Amino acid sequence: MYPIALKLENKRVLIVGGGKVATQKATMLIKQNADVVVVSPTLTQTLHSYTLNNQIRWIERGFEKADTDGAFLVIAATDDRHVNDLVRNNCLENQLVNVVDSPEDSNFFNMAFLDRGKLKIAISTEGASPILAKQIKQDLNEFFDDGYEAYLNFLLAAREKIKQTVIDEEKKYFLLQQLLQDKFRSSEEARELFLSSIDDSV
């Protein structure tokens, strides 16, 4: 498997199914600003709220072959294996397809996903054990707490300031290495002092 991260903003994503699994997929895709289309006779309450808020488009019927036309990514998420097979078999070779109950019929897998702002960690067992992937995510959650989002924002701001103001390459490398000190992960005051000291170090 070759791991990648996809930019799905404004990309058409088709989800066939309106149950719990479809809801989980839609919730993540909405956060990526994808153009989500759900085909299903019925929806969960959460999916229905997404339609009312114009976060997804709902086609209120069963799957039809034309539904996959123009879709960048397709997710077959019904509880009917026959319908999921129809969805998969109707997709083109260049379309990304995930059949939730059949990894062998999918050409990509969804990964357990830890999001701390600019820090993204994806965990995959290639379909062997989603439960294990979930457990690993929980373990990582304990280590990479919510403070990492602010820490990553600081790293970005400091890196940009160093690149713009420090000319000497050795000094630049030294300052970038300093950013990895533990104190910057937990202390906002230490971050502010470091940012203000960059000009003095030039």
Domains, the chain, in order of start with CATH, read 12-110 (3.40.50.720), 147-201 (1.10.8.610)
Specify the pTM. Answer: 0.74
Question: Percent of the chain having pLDDT more than 90?
Answer: 60
DSSP per-residue string spanning 106-137: -SS---EEEEETTEEEEE--TTS-HHHHHHHH
Quote the pLDDT of residue 50: 98
Task: Label the pairing between strands 96-99 and 12-16.
Answer: unpaired
- Residue 200 scores a pLDDT above 70: no
CA-based nearest residue to 158, from 120, 119, 112, 193: 193
| Structure tokens given for 44 | 């969960």
Predicted local distance difference test score (pLDDT) of residue 111: 79
Tell me the CB-side half-sphere exposure of residue 145, using CA atoms within 13 A. 4
Q: What is the pLDDT of residues 136-159, one digit of tens each?
A: 988 888 888 888 888 899 999 999
